[in-house]
Structure 1
Amino acid sequence: MLVLALAAVSAMSSASLSEGQQAQLMQRFIGRVRNDVIVRIEVDVSPEGDPLACRMLEFHGDERGPEQICPAIERRRFRSGTGPDGTPQHVRLEMEIAVGRYQGTSFQRPFIALQTPSLPDGDERTDIFVNAFFDASGSLLACEGRDANAPQNFVEAACGELGRHEVRTFSGEDGNSVPYLQTVRVAFVAGPSQGV
């Protein structure tokens, strides 16, 4: 069995695959990878929903996983993502696919990690997702919590910190850098605080 984790979003929306496309991708991937595997990939998607690039970020398990997943992804069409003004935008999308014993697991790699003196319910780590819109130079233009129930102080801290990070630019169809949207995982870890 295969699990496909895609980012869902709020006012700004990320690119995504339809449920039917997810099912087709899963069946194709399962047919080519017969053993346990988990892969984490990054896909750059055009405003029209076409994959422009696919990069393997991490994998464990069946060695055939990395060579099979990007070609399968590159044959798919995504639902377009939208920027702060509602227009279609380029999107950088991170996906995880897990088969066999890895099903239900996740790499859970945050883009950034912030420390806070304490977390709700005594947790050691809490992750939130923010939708970040970057200009062609990689500077943060807009940022919001993906989920309505994310604590606002965590969203503000995550967006503030993200604005100080250098990010890779996004090459459009013509090879020039373009603005893009990315949903980013931010981990809050209990420990010495820096103002959250």
Structure 2
Amino acid sequence: MPPKAERGANMTLNHYLGSDRPLPAGSFGYVFSYQKYADIPKSDDPSALHNIIDLSHLNDTLFQVFESDLDAAGLEIADVTALPWRQKLLITKPYVYGISGSFTISKEMREQSPLSFEIGRKCIGLLLSHMNDHMEEGESMEIYSCWDSELEMDRNPELDSTLHLPDFQLGDVFELADKQLIRVTK
């Protein structure tokens, strides 16, 4: 899973999804196979963990193996509805989920880091597809982002926006910004 955006020491930009009904939680979009540890090709790098520590006791253990960095990118959705701090979030929907993935793309990123751009496009596409699959026409969901220690701070209404899924085309620019509430409609 790609790292979350960070701000200073121990600060993470968290993203939340609000819904009027329960949604499936879990991991989505990862592409992997299982292989025994003994069958996974090992690096010749002398500082690689398998060259420093004897891991032969893991030889028959199955591990997830990703063919590419893009295969290792995906969407994580966790239900946070019942957690006590959930009430501090500025989401008006009764069901709330923490979402993790890479949710920023830009033209500069496409030029300077094409892989990061493609990972971002994949994660954003997975999120929007998941929302589309679990909304009926006329319904809405909310996405809200904030730094982990700033749950109680007001959102920035200048950043608020509405995204109508049937009309939306993912281009070269997309970002879930701090203190932003996005109402997604269908």
TM-score norm. by structure 2 comes to 0.29
